[in-house]
Amino acid sequence: MRGQSRKESLSDSRDLDGSYDQLTGHPPGPTKKALKQRFLKLLPCCGPQALPSVSENSVEDEFELSTVCHRPEGLEQLQEQTKFTRKELQVLYRGFKNECPSGIVNEENFKQIYSQFFPQGDSSTYATFLFNAFDTNHDGSVSFEDFVAGLSVILRGTTDDRLNWAFNLYDLNKDGCITKEEMLDIMKSIYDMMGKYTYPALREEAPREHVESFFQKMDRNKDGVVTIEEFIESCQKDENIMRSMQLFDNVI
């Protein structure tokens, strides 16, 4: 008996999906999990509609993580949805897919990619804010559609669109207004990206002072928060900001 059970365990370890029971010759009683596994394996990589279900399974079933892949909608659809040309979309997708072969970016990946552009400082906090801004449906991952949608607004949108997007970035809890704490977090994350070795050296109060001057400029009614209208209005009155928005016209 003992030997037999040992043999069984050996053969089971060989037989990975356990579809064949050495002892009885019948497939073992199918467990719910095994069934789901086999079913999902049979499915081709799913489109965006099935994305939520796949990612749910992938979260609970580690076995499935390696087979998750996400394919974006077709090129034509993306062309309609965004303001990029076909070639631009191709270039963007190639770069995207190179770094994220699975088709979606999660927060860790995102932070790691972004940190490669700022070797000296710590860009992880700002990257988190960016990630939250790109991840419009808040599902913890940025797909190519999200990515391209965000880029389309920033690079091809009107100034108002851009300002809207920036406001969305600053509004961490997405409640429609920016508080001083939120702004302080943003400011600190931007200063963090510079790193420790700067000239002049970073002072402790610099972010706070910067936030104060920002609120002075933006907060019309001095109620301690900046709403979207205040924000857009103030930015439109500022020459520098308007001019800097033009920078994004030629990025791609």
Partner 1 sequence: MAAGVAAWLPFARAAAIGWMPVANCPMPLAPADKNKRQDELIVLNVSGRRFQTWRTTLERYPDTLLGSTEKEFFFNEDTKEYFFDRDPEVFRCVLNFYRTGKLHYPRYECISAYDDELAFYGILPEIIGDCCYEEYKDRKRENAERLMDDNDSENNQESMPSLSFRQTMWRAFENPHTSTLALVFYYVTGFFIAVSVITNVVETVPCGTVPGSKELPCGERYSVAFFCLDTACVMIFTVEYLLRLFAAPSRYRFIRSVMSIIDVVAIMPYYIGLVMTNNEDVSGAFVTLRVFRVFRIFKFSRHSQGLRILGYTLKSCASELGFLLFSLTMAIIIFATVMFYAEKGSSASKFTSIPASFWYTIVTMTTLGYGDMVPKTIAGKIFGSICSLSGVLVIALPVPVIVSNFSRIYHQNQRADKRRAQKKARLARIRVAKTGSSNAYLHSKRNGLLNEALELLGTPEEENMGKTTSLIESQHHHLLHCLEKTTGLSYLVDDPLLSVRTSTIKNHEFIDEQMFEQNCMESSMQNYPSTRSPSLSSHPGLTTTCCSRRSKKTTHLPNSNLPATRLRSMQELSTIHIQGSEQPSLTTSRSSLNLKADDGLRPNCKTSQITTAIISIPTPPALTPEGESRPPPASPGPNTNIPSIASNVVKVSAL
Residue ranges that bind partner 1, judged by CB under 8 A: 87, 91-92, 94-96, 98-99, 113-114, 116-117, 119, 126, 129-130, 147, 150-151, 154-155, 162-163, 165-166, 169-170, 183, 186-187, 190, 210, 213-214, 231, 235, 240-241, 243-245, 247-248, 250-252
Nearer to partner 1, 34 or 155 (CB): 155
Nearer to partner 1, 40 or 167 (CB): 167
Smallest distance, partner 1 to C-beta of residue 86, A: 11
Nearer to partner 1, 34 or 206 (CB): 206
Task: Report the alpha-carbon distance of residue 209 to residue 168 in Å, rounded.
Answer: 22
Task: Report the alpha-carbon distance of residue 90 to residue 72 in Å, rounded.
Answer: 12
Smallest distance, partner 1 to C-beta of residue 106, A: 15
Nearer to partner 1, 96 or 103 (CB): 96
Unique residue bearing structure tokens 């394996």: 41
Smallest distance, partner 1 to C-beta of residue 52, A: 25
Distances (CA, A) of 69 to 51, 58, 91, 97, 116: 9, 10, 20, 11, 24
Type and span of the H or E element at 36: helix 32-42
**Is residue 186 a contact partner of residue 119, using CB atoms and an 8 Å limit?**
no
Smallest distance, partner 1 to C-beta of residue 66, A: 19
Nearer to partner 1, 56 or 160 (CB): 160
Q: Which of 95, 39, 97 is nearest to 72 (CA)?
A: 97
Smallest distance, partner 1 to C-beta of residue 151, A: 5
DSSP for 149-187, written as a single string: HHHHHHHHS-HHHHHHHHHHHH-TT-SSEEEHHHHHHHH
